[in-house]
Structure 1
């Protein structure tokens, strides 16, 4: 196993010490375009009770096992992992098992992260390229009430903004159990007429798994920003590389019989490697009554992923391992213009926007493999996908206690699939119009009532829109096509109030309907049109700041997800029903800092008839530290403090292993799980200049 120790010098010199190189100085900061980082407790211009903004102060000392857990700042959202740490996380929110991101839109520095027509899953969202210390804020929304939110946002959206500069250069060394090592160097300073931010990160770990994960991850970031008469500009370059060995989910029967342990693997060659580079440009220019913003981006991405979920069910000789490939380049443009004015003597806030995106997918493929060697190809495609969205939002303050926000969005998608089977090649296009409406009544100075309704959508895999025959079938079997765009409808009634000066409370009742949970089954290369669904729920969230630097939050969410077609077997497998979290963050008290979080993920149905259910899980994570001086601080993280044997994910399906009873030649139905990591301790030392 290789470790990034040799990268330490480069990290410290290039990033932390970079403020003294190449004419880079730490004096005379240049002001860039302001980033809205107001704490959610101070946000008085919300259009729903379930939106908010988290600041760097709120994020800084939350214990965090992996970068994707940044999204757990969204009340009710749970992040887990069902394979190696190079793979996108598993997300749960509002009655959804969101898989790796479908129905939850995520952007970083204005760049969309969700990937349509992805080799592993539609809307795939991998945040491993994010350096958590550089996130300045996370703006989140739930529901389909926002005209600016397009594809994948039916359940919600989160927008991560990055820092333009750091107060001081820093270098961090973290060490932990199971081979965990992490080095981070970052710094910023004046360069020419602007400011340059640079950061490098390198990390490795084996994890608690019997087959070491041997993760080797590298991240780099350069961001340059400046202001002139034409506006405020920033250019951001990011690079990410990761390789790992994964321990996939394992069958409960094999663990119960003592043949393997909880952290063992049935295939020691699963895992993968992934790479991502990006370049983005942000521009903003404002006047007294208006502002215009633009974002342009280009991303080069590839993933090579090896998995084995059924072991020897389909191929008793070589096993069922398969390889999923995604190689693409995508780019796009986002434009927003907003203007404040009056209409009939009432304040009016208008916004109009345009979103363009083009994905050139050189290869999206599925191959049968053994020990990462290809045996055959299930299907291999090249895809071109173009999407365009235009939207308009109009907010009017009718009187000091009542305002409305009316929105309208129109989206058009066009895809061109070039398949290795000509019968599955083809073109398709689809369009959808999504109206939105929010009504906000504030009968008291610190209390608002929100009524929201809107239409949204998510796209389906382009391959599912052109398919005609089942890949690999002989003789050819007909396959059903799916619609390219799937309609969603959502409604919400919310109350936001401040019963105490430092306490903000929100109560929300919501409903979300999907015309059809249409899926492309990436593990099989086929499509499956599932049934219409309805999700209903209640969320109760609290945010309390009893003193400066001390933050307490508590959230409870309950959901009722059901298929909605009259069939008595109406449970949605994997759909979340109950979550809760409680957290405390202390940013500074006489040099001490830290945080504690309790997270509860409730039991979920694994089959439509609810005859099998997952177990629930409760985890507690802690972080504590001390600043010995303004230049040196030490932090200790403890994950899964009580060493609970709980699971990150559970499924129920058919699999087969050589040791199975011969009476089951076609495999056995069983619960399959991926365990949460046992208690782990990490120690970090950070130096500042």
Structure 2
């Protein structure tokens, strides 16, 4: 078996197949002459096949330096960390799946909410990523980086995959494809459930399905894709560590009963591509029906024995699409390639609500709003090969955001709302020098650009605190970001590719809309710098080794709460992975991930616990039809925390005492050692 990596050039957030797709063997000098920056790449299905996963969104950890955790139930979007950013649920990282944007603007729980629980890892064909602000097609949220996930159009054989594990984990996935008169039909259906290790059983119920019709090639063809996803779950939120230390609850206990929620995502999308000798055109359209009802009590019992549970409700339709054209001007214009495109998106949010609740029953409307938010983006990119050792890219995009916020209900919400608009021009400039015969073959990269992430439209139109009626100042609709990077990529010898990047980013502000309170929390401007080292090595047939190290530093430009450290900005991550599959009966993978200690508050006095986590997959093929697998997750039963915060909370036993509401460590533990067994039948 020859492992291959696919590189596409160029790649845009429209998520449509690119003009050129180059497939190169991992045994060759395969990264030189294809990338525009040291910190971009493409991961293929073969690299994902033997990767042990606790949750679907952990496929994002194939991006070097990315860490995916959870601080609530498995139906809620994950917590993401990259390049000194606590991305929360996606506020500074843009993700598209088959051309459809996943980040939700003006979301009930958090700006840029990026729920990937509907992703089916076994059906992914590629994960293409770019870090920093250099993705010309990125647009909103593409500040620390962007990713585009695409699914396969066909499968070699239909299959049924059944998995069972501890804590009532069960999952069945059935998928297959067939060709009729040159048209491919692909279907995948997933049903899953899980209680988890929590004292309050999670009772996760997930239904997921994919239907795809496609024809032609990536250069000349089309695809129609329908997706259906729903989930219902109970959650064990993060809790004060002192509640565990005192014995009030167990390590996997919960303070607030009946937290959790339900979510759905139904979508229909279409992609089309047509190419001639010197031009190529791509277009896509999509429609998404999205809903979430999320019940949480992150502060416990600060308001009394009834608890602090609230509901965040989101119901919307997302419509959009994109089109772009590429002209290859060949040698008459110094081997120049020009791209121009247009992206449109509109979020029609029928009702966006925040409610006080007791046991999921609404007791008070804090605020209800109707929002229509429209985003348009025009972009261009010019790539030129000036000499055999110099190529450049020059691009820009203009984004326009317009929102109308209409208050529907809430005692102090009537005077909020209104129209708001903002515009941002983002320039990108990059140069690639080489290849030179240094360490085999080496290319050097230099990139600069600026981008943005949007703020919640409610934060830009709110003048009164919806909880208390006190005056607040509206915030800008757009937060500007500047980024720069230098790096190198080397193919020192056959089978080993290494890349190093030194980067810097500057954010105009760290304004965040706090969905738990319905207001915007102001923070200061910040600087981030870092160094990344990524390696991909195939020492023998069927063996893949990847190793990554990421170091970062995040600081506010002025003192905040007595310090300048950005809370939850992880300064050090590392990962090591080995997969083995030579086509014989045995196969498997081993992954080690390190999450360094990070500051919990601005002075740096309180810090999280650093830890290593180890996951293992082992499989055996009886024949071409039958195979079994075992996943051993958290193999050494590490007692660590998926997430740690610093803030105020109150346990049930603290009600009426001076400790109630005091600041302390809030934690959500890593799940204990878990075994899952799988049986796969291919037809």
Q: Which of 417, 423, 432 in structure 2 is aligned with 1:425?
A: 417
For residues 125-274 of structure 1, what are the structure 2 equivalents within 5 Å?
125-227=114-216, 231-274=220-263
C-alpha contact 2:501 2:533 (8 A) present in aligned 1: yes
Determine if contact 2:375/2:401 at 8 Å carries over to the other structure.
yes
Structure 2: gaps (5+ residues): 1-16
- Is the Cα contact below 8 Å between 2:84 and 2:553 reproduced in 1? yes
Q: Of 526, 549, 568, which aligns to 1:574?
A: 568
Distance 1:229 1:112, change over 3 A: closer
Q: Cα offset for 1:499?
A: 1.5
Structure 1 residues 39 and 548: alpha-carbon distance in aligned structure 2, compared to 1, 3 A threshold = same
CA distance in 1, matches of 2:107, 2:291: 10
Residues 310, 656 of structure 1: 8 Å contact kept? yes
Equivalent pair of 1:38/1:55 in contact (CA under 8 Å): no
Correspondence 1:646 to 2:646: no
Are residues 166 and 434 of structure 1, via their aligned partners in 2, closer, same or farther at CA, if it must alter by over 3 Å?
same
Shift of 1:35: 6.5
Q: How does 1:81-120 map onto structure 2 within 5 Å?
A: 81-120=70-109
Residue aligning to 1:672: 666
Give the match for residue 445 of structure 2. Answer: 450
- 1:227 Cα shift? 3.5
Secondary structure in 1 matching 2:249? coil
Deviation of 1:228 after TM superposition, in Å, equals 10
Mapping for residues 319-334 of structure 1, pairs under 5 Å:
319-334=307-322
Counterpart residue number, 1:596? 590
Query: Residue deviations 1:496-546, cap 9 Å, x none?
Result: 101121100111100000011111111111112210000000001100012
2:347 counterpart (350, 359, 363) = 359
Q: TM-score, normalised by structure 2?
A: 0.94
SS of 1:629's equivalent in the other structure is coil
Distance in 2 (CA, whole Å) between partners of 1:63 and 1:450 is 33
Distance 1:230 1:551 in 2: 30
Equivalents in 1 of 2:24, 2:84: separation in Å? 29
Q: Deviations over 1:301-338 (max 9, x none)?
A: 1000000111111x213210010111000010111211
Which of the residues 673, 679, 682 maps onto 1:685? 679
8 A Cα contact 1:392 1:408, kept in partner:
yes
Counterpart of 1:517 in structure 2 is: 510
In structure 2, C-alpha distance between the alignment counterparts of 1:189 and 1:214, rounded to whole Å: 35
Matched-pair contact (CA < 8 Å) for 2:378–2:397: yes
1:614 to 586, 608, 626: 608
What is the CA–CA distance in structure 2 between the aligned matches of 1:371 and 1:566, rounded to whole Å?
Answer: 40
Kept in 2: contact 1:368–1:375 (CA 8 A): yes
SS of alignment partner, residue 118 of structure 1: coil
How far apart, in 2, do the equivalents of 1:577 and 1:635 lie?
Answer: 35
C-alpha spacing 1:516/1:38, structure 2 compared with 1 (3 Å): farther
Pairing 1:172-571 to 2, within 5 Å after superposition:
172-227=161-216, 231-313=220-302, 315-342=303-330, 345-419=333-407, 420=409, 421-444=413-436, 446-473=441-468, 476-565=469-558, 569-571=563-565
CA positional deviation for 1:289: 1.3
Residues 28-47 of structure 1: pairs in structure 2 closer than 5 A: 42-43=30-31, 44-47=33-36
Measured in 1, the distance between the counterparts of 2:170 and 2:514 equals: 36
Asked if the contact 2:219/2:280 (under 8 Å) is kept, the reply is: no
Structure 1: distance between partners of 2:177 and 2:217: 20
- CA drift at 1:665: 6.4
Residue aligned with 1:153, SS:
coil
Distance 1:685 1:198 in 2: 20
Q: Structure 1 stretch 285-294 or stretch 230-239: which is displaced more? A: 230-239
Q: Distance in 2 between matches of 1:624 and 1:98?
A: 32
- Point out the more displaced range, 39-48 or 522-531: 39-48
Three-state SS of the structure 2 residue aligned to 1:174 is: strand
Structure 1 residues not aligned, in runs of 5+: 1-30
**1:125 partner SS:** coil
Deviation at 1:345, TM superposition (A): 4.9
2:434/2:444 contact within 8 Å kept: yes
Kept in 1, the 8 Å contact 2:126–2:151? The answer is: yes
- Superposed displacement of residue 191, structure 1: 2.8
> Does structure 2 retain, via aligned residues, the 8 Å contact 1:650–1:674?
yes
Deviation by residue 1:56-77 (Cα, 9 ceiling, x = unmatched): 0111101111110000000000
CA contact 2:43–2:62 (8 Å) conserved in 1: yes
Q: CA offset at residue 38 of structure 1?
A: 5.5
SS of the residue 1:464 aligns to: helix
Q: Structure 1 residues 442, 36: CA separation in 2 closer, same or farther (over 3 Å shift)?
A: closer
Structure 1 Cα separation of the partners of residues 333 and 314 of structure 2: 54
Secondary structure of the residue aligned to 1:58 is: helix
The offset of 1:267, in angstroms, is 1.1
Secondary structure of 2:565's aligned partner: coil
1:660 aligns with 2:662: no
Q: Deviations over 1:72-107 (max 9, x none)?
A: 000000000100000000000000000000110000
Question: CA-atom RMSD, angstroms?
Answer: 1.8
Kindly report which structure 2 residues correspond to 1:5-24, keeping only aligned pairs within 5 A, or say none. Answer: none
Cα deviation 1:413-467 (Å, max 9, x = unaligned)? 0000011333112000000000110011014152000000000100000001111
CA gap 1:562/1:370 in 2 versus in 1, 3 angstroms: same
Superimposed CA distance per residue, residues 225-264 of structure 1 (whole angstroms, 9 cap, x where no aligned partner):
1249994111000000100000001111111112211100
Distance 1:320 1:661, change over 3 A: closer
Contact map agreement 1:39 1:54 (CA 8 A) in 2: no
Deviation at 1:566, TM superposition (A): 5.7
**Displacement, 1:656?**
1.4
